[in-house]
Amino acid sequence: MCGIAGIMLAPGQTLDETLLARLMTALAHRGPDGAGEFMTADVALAHTRLAIIDLTTGDQPLFSGPLTLIANGEIYNYLEIKEDNPGSYSTSSDCEPPLKLFSRCSADYAKYLRGMYAIAIHDRAFRTLTLSRDPFGIKPLYTVQTPAGIAFASEPQALLAAGLAPRTINHTKLAELLNLQFTTGKQSIFNNIERVLPGETLTLRQGKIQTVNRIPAILSGETPPANESDALARLDEVFENAVDMHQRSDVPYGMFLSGGIDSSAILAMMARLNSSPVLAFTAGFDIPGVADERDAAAITAKSVGAHHERINITEKMVWEHLPEIVACMDDPVADYAIIPTWFLARRARLDVKVILSGEGGDEMFCGYGRYRAAARPFPLAKKMRAKGVFNGLDILRHKPKHWRDGIAAAEAAIDDPSALKRAQRIDMQDWLPHDLLLKLDRCLMAHGIEGRTPFVDQEIAKFAFSLPDKFLIHNGQGKYLLRLWLAKNLPAAKPFAKKQGFDVPIGVWIAAQGTTLGELVAQNPLINELAAPEKVRALFANAHEKRAGFAAWVLLFTALWHRRHILNLAPAGDVFTTLRQL
């Protein structure tokens, strides 16, 4: 896991010699183990390294003939690519095999990669720059077209810090953020900055995008299992292979363990594959009555001999560090799960450099109730995300428009005979890459940790989307096949028991500070533009009510995000001190 950035100049343009230094400084947290750069007359590349595989010879850029590569991520099948492409390799890096593939297949090389990646390859012979992003969008990549040419980076904040894009907001995307908690599609919330979409490979020439190819996340070709026994056997095979590949590392690794099905399944497989105890981290909160998964996780961990670390998150900790947490979410995600994820990463960094996490299990194996609601026969079916966070609350000055356009576009574009799988595919197009995976990337990279998601894997997806609906839902309960597998392999997880669910008590904490926070948030210039101060104060005063508390959280997040990424003001202490200083 690393940070990458660079620029391809338009004809007649010259390189600002300080540009690479500004980009590398902005991305230093993504690569604390080293930095490298490469420059020609029309291309400049920058790389900051988090060393995971090949610690001694894996520094980047990597070179092969006329090709130069920088990459962020892991190519899990790099050993298999080497076997299929024998020859001379100068390193043991997982990122060198893509160079061999590129020399043979050009822009089609990404079809053969299994992993999470954002890659830039400069071909001096053909004067092209190729940018590729993995099919699920696990690793981020952004571009901005400037008069000087086209620039790219792992994070928008690097492009902003380097002066390559203005700090202005796309208000359609702001409406999405307020109502969905994330933003959809290619256009980011910053007016001039675009995402490279999951699976895209862009070929750049003379400072402009020349061609765009895209690899689908979900591949066809898997034969549906004939019966439940065959389905379980195939799940065991493909899941073991995925976790085994995701453990390839030259540094210590661990996992995030909740009381849920997905992380418990990963724990069970890691325990099978590792001779030493698995190191597992679980977060909880110090508020009576709030669902706390730590005891259940401890029982599960003990049953396989794992070493279990419990992290207690207090209200004081949240108020002290929330400005830092929001600051790392430059591409904003107002999902309050960023709070425990950030604290888990901070603790895990003391022991490991790689974390396996359960993101994607719900999307692959139908864990969300909204999928089952969407799959009901007409007229009982419910449209996903039909109502926004502020729907009916009478808080905003103007009723948000077009906030659901991105979701509607995904709904219109996805064609699957199964209503259940259509719902899953909709989430995999935007919710998974632009909320869950983005949150994991930023919160872990803020602490120099690599996050890996074994469920977000092309072989897992190919298998999961071959399954008949009956293997996904049984007696109204989702993830049926995964629950069956877990019951067999880790019965202590009690996979068919009703789960508490994981909830962050942010509404309780906001309610306790409602008067102070409401006044401070109301003073933020963006929030004042969005809502009358008296309504903001009233919302925070009523934060003990579930919907009001959730909307108050979104406004609090937005105020902190605006202060950091639009006003360009660094956190100034705890949340109260930071909000006071404009």
For residue 538 the two structure tokens come to: 């009233």
Within a domain: 499? no
Q: In which band, very low, low, confident or very high, does the pLDDT at 1 lie, cut at 50, 70 and 90?
A: low
Q: How far apart are CA 207 and CA 148, in angstroms?
A: 8
The identity of residue 357, as a single letter, is S
**238: CB partners within 8 A, 6+ apart:** 459, 460, 463
In terms of domains, do 465 and 512 share one? no
Last residue of a domain, one of 443, 461, 493: 493
Backbone angles phi, psi at 72, to 5 degrees: -125, 120
pLDDT of residue 87: 82
> Can you give 243-295 as a three-state secondary structure string?
HHHHCCCCCCEEEECCCCHHHHHHHHHHHHHCCCCCEEEEEEECCCCCCCCHH
Q: How many CB atoms lie within 10 A of CB 316?
A: 11
The answer on 331 and 475 residing in a single domain is yes
pLDDT at 582: 83
State which amino acid sits at residue 389.
V
Residue 367 domain flag: yes
- Domain CATH number, residue 22: 3.60.20.10
- In the predicted structure, residue 478 carries a pLDDT above the cut 90: yes
Instruction: Examine the domain organization and report whether 160 and 32 are in the same domain.
Output: yes
Do the bridges between strand 450-452 and strand 354-356 make them parallel or antiparallel, or are there none, so unpaired? Answer: parallel
CB-based contact 183:170 (threshold 8 Å): no
Extract the tokens encoding 360. Answer: 């994607």
Helices (H) and strands (E) in the chain, counts: 24, 17
The angle formed by the CA atoms of residues 159, 160 and 163, to the nearest 5 degrees, is 90
232 found inside a domain: yes
Alpha-carbon span 203 to 127, nearest angstrom: 10
My answer on whether 52 and 139 are in the same domain is yes
Q: Are 365 and 464 spatial neighbours (Cβ–Cβ below 8 Å)? A: yes
Q: Is pLDDT of 311 > 90?
A: yes
Chain-centre distance for alpha carbon 91: 29
pTM (2 d.p.): 0.97
The answer to whether 458 and 117 have CB atoms below 8 angstroms apart is: no
* Shared domain check, 459 and 388: yes
Q: Given this model, what pLDDT does residue 327 score?
A: 98
pLDDT at 92 exceeding the cut of 70: yes
Q: How far apart are alpha carbons 232 and 201 in whole angstroms?
A: 35
The tokens describing 135, both together, are 């099919």
Q: Is residue 222 part of a domain?
A: no
Q: Are 48 and 124 part of one and the same domain?
A: yes
Which strands sit side by side in the sheet containing 128-133, from one edge to the other?
A: 62-64, 67-75, 115-123, 128-133, 200-205, 208-214
- Asked if 46 contacts 20 with a C-beta cutoff of 8 angstroms, the reply is yes
Cis peptide before 379 (omega within 30 of 0): yes
Given pLDDT bands bounded at 50, 70 and 90, which one contains residue 379? confident
Report if residue 533 sits inside a domain: yes
287: amino acid identity, one letter: I
Confidence bin at 289 (pLDDT 50/70/90): low
Closest listed residue to residue 73, CA positions, set 46, 89, 93:
93
Q: Domain tally for the chain?
A: 3
Q: Give the mean pLDDT of the chain.
A: 95
* CA distance linking residue 331 with residue 142, whole number of Å: 10
Nearest to 23 by CA among 144, 196, 179, 147: 144
What local confidence, expressed as pLDDT, does residue 499 receive? 67
CA gap 56, 31 in Å, rounded: 15
- Name the amino acid, one letter, at 80: E
- The residues with which 117 forms a beta bridge, in sequence order, are 73
What band does 293 get if pLDDT is binned at 50, 70 and 90?
Answer: confident
Same domain, 362 and 407: yes
**Residue tagged 């060393």 (tokens):** 51
CA 517, CA 531: separation in Å to the nearest integer? 15
- What's the distance, Cα to Cα, between the start and end of the chain in Å? 34
Provide the pLDDT for residue 286: 81
The answer to whether residue 331 is domain-embedded is yes
Residue ending a domain, choose from 437, 466, 493: 493
Q: Say if residue 34's pLDDT is above 80.
A: yes
Residue 500: what pLDDT?
Answer: 62
CA 346 to CA 448: how far, in whole Å?
A: 9
C-alpha closest to that of 360 among 254, 266, 476, 284: 266
Q: Is the dihedral of CA 195, 199, 204, 209 positive or negative?
A: negative
Considering the domain architecture, whether residues 334 and 364 belong to the same structural domain is answered as: yes
Q: In this structure, what CATH number is given to the domain that contains residue 391?
A: 3.40.50.620
Cβ atoms of residues 282 and 308 within 8 Å: yes
Residues 59 and 152 occupy one common structural domain: yes
**Structure token pair of residue 433:** 């890459």
Note whether residue 219 is domain-resident.
Answer: no
- In a shared domain, residues 480 and 555: no
Tell me: the pLDDT tens digits for 338-368? 999 999 999 999 999 999 999 999 999 999 9
Instruction: Specify if 111 maps to a domain.
Output: yes
* Same-domain pairing of 489 and 514: no
Task: Provide the pLDDT confidence category of residue 292 given band limits of 50, 70 and 90.
Answer: confident
Confidence at 501, pLDDT banded by 50, 70, 90? low
Extract the tokens encoding 276.
């030493």
Q: Exposure of 254 by Cβ count < 10 A (0-12 exposed, 13-18 middle, 19+ buried)? A: buried
Domain that holds residue 439: 228-493
Q: Nearest Cα to 155, choosing from 261, 30, 63, 300?
A: 30
Domain boundary, last residue among 493, 520, 537: 493
68 with 61: CB under 8 angstroms? yes
Helices assigned H by DSSP within 121-248 = 156-161, 171-180, 228-246
Question: Which residues neighbour 477 within 8 Å (Cβ) at sequence distance 6 or greater?
Answer: 483, 496
- Written in H, E and C, the secondary structure of 221-238 is CCCCCCCHHHHHHHHHHH
Mean pLDDT, range 235-244, rounded to an integer: 98
pLDDT for res 325: 98
> In a 3-state reduction of DSSP, which class is residue 574?
coil
Three-point CA angle 256, 244, 71, nearest 5°: 80
Q: Assess whether 263 and 185 both reside in one domain.
A: no
